[in-house]
A and B are shown apart, each in its own frame.
Chain A
């Protein structure tokens, strides 16, 4: 292929300290457009903190984050979302006070604009935008495989579908870059495979994906590149097979399981 691969996201020497604890220590990497990049590491390595920093939820203590050529490390989360970064959450932050469809319709927020005056007086512009929002939301739900129960509360869906509501919601924002925080958590083998297919499907429509995962089979299966974090620092980066053989990575994971079996005795 002769096309130059574009860097969509650049993390440069990012630090994040909480008092005396360095949750992110000089983390730096690049994400190329259209790739699926996974971030792995033992518990507490700083993976979710990294997501939180990039999406603007917490500020970096120092460092630069560049998205599509624009520095974003000082921007508020909703601005970053409208620029094209969206995400799901480890603890599944679906809105339980609205239906499945309404959840995904919230995702259309950055791509719609009618304000209080228009919507309260039900102007024609507001009405047509509302129809469009509902249509696009149904489209995204269909894309992730949810066709029924659109008006039910998200809690009424089976767990595997429940997780997809958040994905549909994130997709509704028309992101260019999507963060998935532990998409396979709580899923069985078959559901994990379905999730892997969904992630590939998302990549195929042009969205770059950054994912945090503990499920190694999923990571090795779909990632183009893997980054390993340990205690806030990046210790390895490369294609999945290379990471599997990386001694330092093995030590870090084995070391953890060694400690666990030592304390089990």
Chain B
């Protein structure tokens, strides 16, 4: 393999996992935009998506398409349940309490997952076969096309949802000014609930599409959440277009690093990026430095 096609191969792998980081980042953004909360349990939704899909499709032999939607709905329900049980009852929580509650939620979900599925790693069959397509000297898996397609579809649908539907606009209103939203009759509590459910759904979709390539086990959530958060911050917290681009950047950087430097330190690469962004420019590439400073954390 020539150097160029090797690089291309790494870039393609990077795009795979980068899409997932981007989708996790979008999940962070949705909840953050509506509620101002950073949901540290975001990664667990991805994990649950993969695991439940495995149980439904591989275990219960439900065909792929219905299993996909069923999984997404189930995980969305988990997200909503989490909001109702752990977030909703809090009265005027401080940032510290919110952080601890979402961390607690994530380890609860992880614990339950371990209880149900054990510690093994699971895989899903590729959506349309494993025959790689030759692409400029690198091999492109059909699954990659699925990942890109579904990611693009989600971003598009979300864009339409937030711009043109009443609920979507209501959620944006909550982000902009919660009190004003309440005053014009928006049920803010319902919007908060919806944002968690929606984020969970997107996370689930991400988990389902990546499991054929990257496999899935109960412990994946934390690292995905961290890296997804890195993508969210890099792209500008709240900016979903930026989140996807940042996700790609981190994924590609990670794969290039793993390929050329060392694979033992692969995970550390994305984390270094997160730290550097937080230290140097917390508003991210596409965020505004001014508004970032005004954000109340």
Contacts and interface: CB of A to CB of B under 8 A. Distances in A.
Instruction: Determine whether A and B are in direct contact in the complex, meaning some CB atoms lie less than 8 angstroms apart.
Output: yes
Interface of A: 18-19
Contacts of A19: 290-291
Interface in B58-103: none
B294 to A, nearest CB: 8
- Chain B binding site: helix, strand, loop or mixed by DSSP? helix
Nearest to B294: A18
Contacts, number: 3
A148 B272 CA distance: 54
A50 B290 CA distance: 19
Contacts of B290: 18-19
A19 B294 CA distance: 11
Contacts of A18: 290
Interface residues of B, number: 2
A18 B294 CA distance: 10
Interface string B281-295: 000000000110000
A148 B201 CA distance: 58
B97 to A, nearest CB: 15
3 contacts: A18-B290, A19-B290, A19-B291
A18 B291 CA distance: 9
B291 to A, nearest CB: 8
Interface string B265-286: 0000000000000000000000
A18 B290 CA distance: 8
Nearest to A18: B290
B273 to A, nearest CB: 28
Contacts of B291: 19
A26 B179 CA distance: 34
Nearest to A17: B290
Nearest to B293: A58
Nearest to A19: B290
A19 B292 CA distance: 12
A19 B290 CA distance: 7
B215 to A, nearest CB: 47
A182 to B, nearest CB: 22
The 3 closest A-B pairs by CB, nearest first: A19-B290, A18-B290, A19-B291
A157 B217 CA distance: 56
B279 to A, nearest CB: 19
A60 to B, nearest CB: 15
B288 to A, nearest CB: 8
B159 to A, nearest CB: 25
Nearest to B288: A19
A156 B291 CA distance: 37
Nearest to B290: A19
A249 B111 CA distance: 67
A19 B291 CA distance: 9
A83 to B, nearest CB: 25
B137 to A, nearest CB: 49
A23 to B, nearest CB: 13
